[in-house]
Amino acid sequence: MNAQLSEIQLMRTGEGLTWPEGTTAATSGANEQKSEGAEQLIDGTVDTKCYWGGAAAPVTITLPEPISFDGYRWYTANDSMETRNPVSWRLEASMDGVTWTLVDEQIDRATVTTIKTLAYTYCVADDMDVAINAL
């Protein structure tokens, strides 16, 4: 399985949140090239992407401080739309990196075939506070 995204964003009252300074993103499944690594998911632009080759691995986004959110959205990347855009995913949150809470799960969604565009926006529980979340 191969997958790619250009950007992930948490939301509050319908507005996209800026990742706090010091936020990091990592995954064991990302392309080794820095230009396609997990950090590209939180760099604020749809002109970069994170690409996973082979088996799917979770992306862990670590925040330096808790933030509240009530939704999230993600954007497609720049190529191979029909074979690389996720159609199923889970969003989990944690305050300690040990105990995880399922925030949202989507299974067998329609494939988005437009490049560098908003793919999905979802609302979740109000006032969800996270220090660490895996996407």
The per-residue pLDDT for range 33-85, each reduced to its tens digit, is: 667 888 999 999 999 998 876 556 788 899 998 888 888 999 888 876 667 77
| Secondary structure class of 104 (helix, strand, coil) | strand
- For residue 119, CA distances in Å to 32, 76, 94, 132 come to 25, 6, 25, 23
Read off the pTM: 0.81
Mean pLDDT for the stretch of residues 102-112: 85
21-40 CB burial, b ≥16 within 10 A, e <16: eeeebebebbbeeeebbbbb
| Secondary structure class of 42 (helix, strand, coil) | helix
